[in-house]
Structure formats: C-alpha cells, structure tokens
Amino acid sequence: MDYQQYLIRDPQICGGELVIKNTRVTVRTLLASLAEGATIDEIIEDFPTVTESAVRAVIAFAATSAEDDLPLSSVPSIS
C-alpha cells in the first residue's frame, strides 16, 4: 500500500506532527487507539474524517517504520 498518499507533515498542522491528510488526526493517535485494542470500525466512529483506507495506511506506515528501525541480529563471534 502507498501510505504516503494518506499522510502529511505540515508545520502549520498539529505542530508538524504526522497526520492523515485533510484532517487533524495524528498518526500517533491512531496507533495508540490500535494499541489499546480499538477496531478499524471503532476508530472510524471516533474519528469520522478518517477512512478505512487511511487507517490501513497508518498500519502500513508503522510496519515499514518498524522494519527500518529493527536492530540487526547480533552476529556470533568466532574465536
């Protein structure tokens, strides 16, 4: 999924925090809702300006970010 079409960072919106385009809903807020166990339908109900595709884009963004930030497995030393 091309999550970049759903997300924007603008210093004039929410202090430059990453948000869903055309909203003031931050990616951090949606990830926190998901972490607390909210379903996509519950998130859409709580944030009517957010679409299912946007929530899925946030999940894709998080997965990509986590993959980039995961530490490499330690390589065993050979003595």
Domain boundaries, the chain: 3-65
pLDDT digits (tens, 9 = 90+) for 54-79: 999 999 999 988 876 656 555 455 55
SS3 assignment, position 78: coil
Token readout for 25 is: 């809903």
- Whether domain 3-65 has CATH 1.10.10.10: the reply is yes
SS3 assignment, position 12: coil
Task: Provide the H-helix boundaries in the chain.
Answer: 27-35, 40-46, 52-69
- Model confidence at 19, pLDDT cuts 50, 70, 90, reads very high
The pLDDT of residue 79 is 54
Nearest to 10 by CA among 22, 29, 1, 46: 22
Tell me the residue type at 46: D
**pTM tops 0.75:** yes
